[in-house]
Structure 1
Amino acid sequence: MDLLLADRAAEPPTPLRVFPLAGPPGAALYLKDESRRPTGSLKHGPARDLFLDALRCGEIGPGTPLFEAASGNMAVAQAHFARLLGLSYTAVVPGKTGPDKRRRIEEQGGRCHPFDPPLAVYQKARFLAEASSGHYFDHLQRVGDAVDWSGPDSLGAGILSDLEKRGEPAPAWIVAGVGSGVTSAAIGRYLRMRGAGTRIAVVDPENSAYFPGWAADFPGYTTGMPSRIEGIGRPCVEPAFDASVVDLVIPVPDVASVAAMRHLRAITGLMAGPSSGSCLWGAFHVLDRMRREGERGAVVMVVGDGGETYRDTYYDDAWIEAKGWQLHGPLSDLERFTATGTWGVTPAG
């Protein structure tokens, strides 16, 4: 635990970048760049908190083998901390998981255990942990209770601190993606603890349960369909999602998410993942809403991860064409808003 806490204390804060906007007047857009975490995503902090929680509960000891059902950024971050502690780590991944995703986990010292069908990876990870007297993190179920949302190193604290250093008040809105739900919950709880007037907007891709579940006030809502925007969207509302601290859920078409991630790179040079494209699209909706309602203040959107992992997918024109996504329309909308502050896009749903 001392090693992990020292690691957290030594980690530099992630940057707050400015997104250049011509309008609307009285509003500014900032990018909280969590892709600068040591393992390249905002999952880095929650993964460390899962380790700390398991250590406090006595679930991890010397030589305990570790298991998780994950193939993305959470698995990469967990493999990193397992290596830091000298423990073995296995990520149970769907059989179709590509070599690049497996390589990222293996580069951090983990190993991948492919298994099908995809929805059975959770049971398989639990079985492997039990069979080896190991520990199964079960992050979708446990991360909400594990994350230290109230501390000075939390994401919410970091955003407010960044703006204070610029001599600015708390932002009017913070826009984040929602996968496990822990990011929006942690930020929202911290803001309410501080008494800040900041509102939380989360963006939700197609096939995901969060927007319909939130709109219907039904936390048990299920779509049974996978998200096509990596890093966010779930077929069911996960336990970590806290609807009570969310002020707005914005459904984002998948094609708009992909167009926005490319627009983000074109304007700022920042190569981010598709979830950040969803957040940029949502941030533009929020800024337009502020303009129409005469509200002033800053909007901060969370950049979830870097884009290098997606060179052969979301940044590849042939891959996009095979998906049938036509980016021209949403790209025109994004370019017009950046240049003039005129949006005119009605939110989906």
Structure 2
Amino acid sequence: MLELNSHENIRTPAEIAWALQAIKNIEADYQRSADTNLIKLEIPKLAKAGIDLYLKDESAHPSGSLKHRLARSLLLYGICNGWISEGTVIVEASSGSTAISEAYFARLIGSRFIAVAPKATASEKIREIEALGGEVHLVEPSQIYCEAERLAKELGGHYMDQFTYAERATDWRGNNNIAQSLFSQMSRERFPAPNWVVTSAGTGGTSATIGRYIRLHIEEYSNTQLCVVDPENSVFHEFYRNRDPNIVRHKSSLIEGIGRPRVEPSFMPDVIDRMIDVPDAASIATIRWLEGVILRKCGGSTGTNLYGSLALAREMMQNKQEGSIVTLICDGGERYLDTLYNDEWVASKNLDLLPYLHKLIDFAEIESM
């Protein structure tokens, strides 16, 4: 008689019922949420040159940022992998926006959520996490990873680890990911296949999703390129150039949510066509300039994205090239009123915004960007 040496991990009816309800809650939230808008930025100089520039407004999500999509994917990934069940404490290392979105979904499924964040995290982000029922554990920037892992282990919880799982938790082939949404919305525009899609990298998940999607639909988007813009004190651009995974920085980026002091596992350099460094002062000047154009405040990473997009538009103008560029509004500026929109804070960081503001306000000087 054949004998089997096996172990069983059979889920109880209660465990199955909890997972079913948790997934239903997350999917119900998805059904309640309309897609985010694609805003055409009206800039006469670009229009005259035959260049259309678009901003996909990810701040319109219920939790207020691009990270809403990621948080939903990470929660579903954790539940379906058996890592999150009833009573599991969810822990994340995050500078703010991911934590806000994960707190939002953790509340939907009735789970305790703890964000391990750098001490310099904007106070408004901390208030939003706590307003959604989350807890905030502030540490030195260099300690967020190990502290999140330690805390999850101590509490018998689950460390979400967005920096490892962002690129694999998201279905880059479709399922209304950001790439599918973006390209679908572009389909009836004057130049439906963008010359450039521009994004910044925090986990690397968004750039991985968009880059892979472009390659999956290479026949339709053979002339579309992906540019990733990188703020100061981030290792991504250097890693892109030399592929050294051991690069580290000992100072954090001032542009929260993007740029990393180490190379993250979710950053996929081979799906990126080009990277551009953007000074922090340029990012902040750009969101202040943009407020005068669209009459609303945006977060710092939006400024990084848009400044890089304008630099690419300048190149297209010089080359007499028509087409379109698409980038992202990552989150709203209300979270940064005491930092990026505070002149005293900007001065304390020794940043001079005026040279960049002059270029942006007098758009005729864009050639000198």
TM-score (norm 1): 0.93
1:157 corresponds in structure 2 to: 180
How far 1:326 sits from its partner (Å)? 1.6
Q: Distance between the aligned counterparts of 2:259 and 2:118, measured in 1?
A: 17
1:96–1:29 distance in 2 versus 1, CA, 3 Å: closer
Letter in 2 for 1:133: G
Structure 1 residues 275-295: Cα deviation after superposition (integer angstroms, max 9, x where no partner): 111111101111111122232
Equivalent of residue 197 in structure 2, options 174, 179, 182: 174
Does the 8 A contact of 1:71 with 1:102 survive in 2?
no
Q: Shift of the alpha carbon at 1:210? A: 1.2
Equivalent in the alignment of 1:87: 111
Are 2:95 and 2:256, in contact at CA under 8 Å, matched by a contact in 1? Answer: no
1:315 aligns with 2:341: yes
Pairwise CA distance, 1:98:
5.3
Distance 2:343 2:52 in 1: 31
Q: Distance in 1 between matches of 2:146 and 2:349?
A: 31
Structure 2 distance, partners of 1:219, 1:286, is 28
In structure 2, the CA distance between the partners of 1:96 and 1:223, relative to structure 1 (3 Å rule), is: closer
The 3-state SS of whatever aligns with 1:61 is: coil
SS at 1:343's partner residue?
A: helix
Matched, 1:210 2:210: no
More deviation, 218-227/153-162: 218-227
Larger Rg: 2
1:116-265 matches, within 5 Å, as 116-166=139-189, 168-195=191-218, 196-197=221-222, 198-265=224-291
Whole-Å separation in 2 of the counterparts to 1:210 and 1:122? 18
- Equivalent of 1:14, from 36, 57, 69? 36
Q: Is the 8 A contact 1:152 1:158 kept in 2?
A: no
Alpha-carbon separation, structure 1, partners of 2:199 and 2:253: 16
Q: CA deviation at 1:95?
A: 4.2
Shift of 1:165: 3.9
Moved more, 306-315 or 224-233: 224-233
Q: Which runs of 5+ in 2 are unaligned?
A: 1-22
Q: Secondary structure at the match of 2:258?
A: coil
Tell me: CA distance 1:27–1:97, structure 2 relative to 1, closer, same or farther (3 Å).
closer
Deviation at residue 64 of structure 1 after TM alignment: 1.3
Query: What SS does structure 2 have at the residue aligned with 1:174?
Result: strand
Distance in 2, Cα, partners of 1:17 & 1:122 = 36
**DSSP-derived class of the 1:314 partner:** coil
- Residue among 304, 307, 311 paired with 1:285: 311
Q: Which amino acid aligns with 2:280?
A: D
- CA distance in 2 between counterparts of 1:187 and 1:341 reads 31
SS at match of 1:29: strand
Residues 95 and 257 in structure 2, CA contact (< 8 A), matched pair in contact too = no
Return the match for 2:331 from 265, 287, 305: 305
Greater shift in the superposed pair: 99-108 or 162-171: 162-171
Please say if residues 272 and 305 of structure 1, whose CA atoms lie closer than 8 Å, have aligned partners that are also in contact: yes
Bigger drift between 76-85 and 185-194 goes to 185-194
Q: How many residues align?
A: 342
**Matching residue of 1:34:** 58
Deviations 1:122-155 (A, max 9, x none): 2222222222221111111122211122224111
CA 1:283–1:74 in structure 2 vs 1: closer, same or farther (change >3 Å)?
same
**Identity between Structure 1 and Structure 2 (%):** 39
| 2: CA distance, partners of 1:2 / 1:265 | 38
5+ unaligned residues in a row in structure 1: which ranges? none
CA RMSD of aligned residues (A): 1.7
Residues 262 and 21 (structure 1 numbering): CA distance in 2 closer, same or farther, change over 3 Å? Answer: same
Deviation track 1:184-224 (CA, whole Å, cap 9, x = no partner) reads 11111111111113111111111111112212243443233
One-letter code aligned to 1:7? D
* 1:45 partner amino acid: R
Q: Where does residue 106 of structure 1 map in the other structure?
A: 130
Letter in 1 for 2:357: L
Q: Is the 8 A contact 1:22 1:341 kept in 2?
A: no
**Which amino acid is 1:55 matched to?**
I
Aligned partner letter, 1:184? S
- Of stretches 293-302 and 258-267 in structure 1, the one that deviates more from structure 2 is 293-302
Cα distance, 1:168 vs structure 2: 4.3
1:225 positional shift: 2.4
